[in-house]
Amino acid sequence: MIQVADLNDTVTIQISGRFDFRLIKDFQQLLSKSPRTWVVDFTGVDYVDSSALGMLLLLRERVHGDAQRVLLRGLHGQPRDVLVMAKFDRMFKVE
């Protein structure tokens, strides 16, 4: 499940449960937005697959690779392990 809050030029994407290929269409709709900053909240995420990481890369492309404009928040467990292994902690701002 995905919830979106658009406030003060910041779009916050709050995901709960599995962050996988089933969210691609939701993400497609989000990509039409162009805020200054994106926040992806992983607090409620317990699983990610490679498509989730692919979607994050697309988000990164939207901000022209500016790591400061995409913030990953609340990483823990399997999502944290996968993202660290893929070295996403060097490509995104992690809180």
Which range binds another protein by CB under 8 A, 1-9, 33-41, 52-60, 65-73? 52-60
Among the listed residues 8, 25, 32, 90, the single contact to another protein using CB under 8 A: 25
Q: d(Cα 47, Cα 67) in Å, to the nearest integer?
A: 23
Smaller CB separation from another protein, 10 or 91: 91
CA distance 82 to 37: 23
Contact 36, 66 (CB under 8 A): no
- Give the HSE-up count for residue 6: Cα atoms under 13 Å, Cβ half-sphere: 7
5 or 24: CB nearest another protein: 24
Using the rule CB under 8 A, is 71 a contact of another protein?
Answer: no
Tokens encoding 58 = 């697309």
Choose between 1 and 24: whose C-beta lies nearer to another protein.
Answer: 24
Q: Give Dmax over CA atoms of the chain in angstroms.
A: 32
Which residue ranges make up the site for another protein (CB under 8 A)?
A: 20-21, 24-25, 27-28, 31, 48-51, 53-55, 57-58, 78, 81-82, 85-87
